[in-house]
Amino acid sequence: MERMIIFCMLFFCSTMMLTEASPRTVKYKQIQKKIQDLQSMVKDKDAELLHTPENFVEGCLSTAVTCFKKGVQKLQPASSQDNGAFHKAIRIVNKLTYRDSGEHCESYEKKTCESYEKKTPKEFLKGFENLMQ
């Protein structure tokens, strides 16, 4: 009887661990949510155009992530009422870290941030959201 109870407890604990999302997945989902929030808070008219990476190549994403993180620093809130929430969202997005080996980048032309087309802040954030997916 004791063995059966211990087995049931182990089985229950192991199934709970399997259904729990990894911390990295939770972090990425939180960052993706903040990017979506920023789209409604960002100043889009009369704002600086930002270099927006596109056509991402698997295994060569660290350059795109770096460009997006640099661009996020240049975003401005649409109104002063959103200022606190805006800066909090920016801080959370800046916590994004992505490292890849860069081995697959050799066949792909390594681009600098300045080589990407400039787009409006909302298009920039849409591109960032696509990268996060």
Q: What is the CATH number of the domain that holds 70?
A: 1.20.1250.70
With a CB cutoff of 8 Å and minimum separation 6, the contacts of 99 are 62
Q: Considering the entire predicted model, what is its pTM?
A: 0.74
Classify residue 16: in a domain, yes or no: no
Query: Rounded to an integer, what distance in angstroms lies between the CA atom of residue 5 and that of residue 16?
Result: 17
Classify residue 53: in a domain, yes or no: yes
Classify residue 15: in a domain, yes or no: no
- How do residues 71-113 score in pLDDT, each as one tens digit? 999 998 888 777 888 889 888 888 887 766 555 565 445 678 8
Q: Which two tokens stand for residue 88?
A: 């909090």
Classify residue 6: in a domain, yes or no: no
Classify residue 10: in a domain, yes or no: no
- Of 5-14, 46-55, 119-128, least confident by mean pLDDT is 5-14
Confidence class for position 1, pLDDT limits 50, 70, 90: confident
* Count of structural domains within the chain: 1
Classify residue 5: in a domain, yes or no: no
Residue 65 pLDDT > 50, yes or no? yes
Classify residue 4: in a domain, yes or no: no
Give residue 105's pLDDT.
61
Classify residue 52: in a domain, yes or no: yes
Average pLDDT score over residue span 116-129: 91
| Residue 83, domain extent | 21-101+110-132
The letter for the amino acid at 76 is: Q
